[in-house]
Structure 1
């Protein structure tokens, strides 16, 4: 959805980070008071080989020892940190307004450990981060600028987004492996990758009709329509075998895969075998209420899957993390199958 949720923009981490991207960050496990340590990874699967060096967009970061006090400043990094057994001392709000910036799948992993502090979404709170005395600052799924990175690096070793992907665009596999290296839990990270890739393979095998069908990810944000080509949520559809329509693909170029706003006059670009539409903003402003939208075949035939911002399924698809992807697969795959079965009478179960 707009870069807020499925995909990211600096003034709206929201629009960019949302679906497309897809859109934020950190966890905790222990009291942030001076001298208190966070809960390290609960698994002994790491190599114990420190220092560890991580290359990223702004250089190379050396982490001298296994970190215990972790601050996350990426959109979804907290999920992976928790998945690998560590509770961050702080996270960064993205969307959802959850305690600790933790959606249900991450809250479950936190258990009875202390809730992380939540940092502001729009601007990094450098003094507050410094007061937490982190051992490492993780911004793998982020859009950290060089200036922000330099300031954070003055506080603690900081790992920014990888150079080879667009900001906020790191694939979940790369994010999982990188954070596994940071936390000295590579074996567990690799197991997550293997297990979830296996789930995608099983879904494709059960639904060969996905292969070559067209599927679009779009968002309604305050009455505006956005379509996405890159980011966690669009990548989710591609991994299942769905492809963009050629008409929508022409909106993008190899060098510019940023989310695109489309006018009401071009709502025809939303036509596909299935449309996944995230709804953000006031209900009365939803593009799904527009008559021109309701006249689209994809809407008339019930092949659109609409997800309100706060629904668990929307959050799971948007986060596309090791913890949320199983929930996203369980919730979205049956709906995608119902939408593209060729029978307009098949009801697509509403997302609640």
Structure 2
């Protein structure tokens, strides 16, 4: 396991050190768009955006977009304040350290995207491939700078992080760097899967206890992140849930059963059920996974739970590093 963790850490260092330019706020590689030079036109769900020359100043509208920039070796000129005064996630801190920055310039996104703050930074391009707010944001962002976002509205929920990265990289003229990031992450996952053959073929359910509901987070269309690359697969019950219909009533907790059940409590005792209340629920206790001790709690304090649910280009290797021992214990049971 020590070798696996070291390999993951080394890989993360690789994917966050794609460039070493002169000014941290304008880091970018020299290559143009894959297959040709600028200008490049990107079609999205709201229209078209043309980027006339290689962007140097990149703004982001979500933490996932910030991760894309950092994974490509770019320091955004402005980002939403994802931490809200809390600690920077370990995987992001590693990337920032590699890029020689201790903090990012942020705007308060409590009430949504701050268009004025973004405009004040005069970005060359705005990354929005990892956000759910583009229906509202696009018309207000487009006059500021070209907006890089997804081609279809449904992609907001289902587009894998690798494809989001590729969309952004094409606009930034960094497709080769994106492929390097994807390849490095793929190696970490392949090494973890090879080291844990017991994962292969096991079904899983990932459950998030929200204040208003118990959420079947591993629904059919959800980006599986690392789970399926590690050899696991979603349960048949996943087909009954979608991004917009993923609540599980207390009367239907049997829907959660799988070879392995992972539960996280990001809201602590403010969730619909506390950890002790769910563990004491008779229907939950009747699940085969529970009876055979194939259940694990995923910590939320270190942001692992959210990184699993919403994988991105920066966190993937770190998730492997953190989640693999938790999965191994759950698969073993007892």
Q: Kindly report which structure 2 residues correspond to 1:217-236, keeping only aligned pairs within 5 A, or say none.
A: 217-222=206-211, 224-228=213-217, 229=219, 230-232=221-223, 234-236=224-226
| Between structures 1 and 2, the one with greater helix share | 2
Moved more, 235-244 or 131-140: 235-244
* Aligned residues of 1:226 and 1:259 also touching (Cα < 8 A): no
2:117 equivalent among 124, 128, 132: 128
1:335 aligns with 2:326: yes
Mapping of residues 69-148 of structure 1, within 5 Å: 69-94=57-82, 96-97=83-84, 102-111=88-97, 112-113=100-101, 115-148=104-137
Are residue 279 (structure 1) and residue 265 (structure 2) matched?
A: yes
Aligned-residue offset at 1:189: 0.8
Partner Cα separation in structure 2 for residue 179 and residue 166 of structure 1: 14
| Residue 146 of structure 1: how far off its partner (Å) | 4.0
| Cα distance, 1:331–1:279 mapped onto 2, change above 3 Å | same
Is 1:154 aligned to residue 143 of structure 2?
yes
- 1:215–1:129: structure 2 CA closer, same or farther, 3 Å change rule? same
Could you tell me how far 1:184 is from its partner in structure 2?
1.7
What's the CA shift for 1:227?
0.2
Change in CA separation of 1:166 and 1:44 when aligned onto 2, cut-off 3 Å: closer
CA, structure 1 residues 119+270, in 2 after alignment: closer, same or farther (shift >3 Å)?
same
Q: How does 1:1-352 map to 2 (within 5 A)?
A: 38-41=25-28, 43-46=29-32, 49-94=37-82, 96-97=83-84, 102-111=88-97, 112-113=100-101, 115-163=104-152, 165-222=154-211, 224-228=213-217, 229=219, 230-232=221-223, 234-246=224-236, 248-252=237-241, 256-283=242-269, 285=271, 286-290=273-277, 291-292=280-281, 293-341=284-332, 344-345=333-334
Q: Could you tell which deviates more after superposition, 84-93 or 185-194?
A: 84-93
- Structure 1: how far apart are the matches of 2:44 and 2:37? 20
Q: CA 1:37–1:316 in 2, change beyond 3 Å: closer, same or farther? A: closer
In structure 2, stretches of 5+ residues that fail to align are: 1-22
Q: Which runs of 5+ in 1 are unaligned?
A: 1-35, 346-352
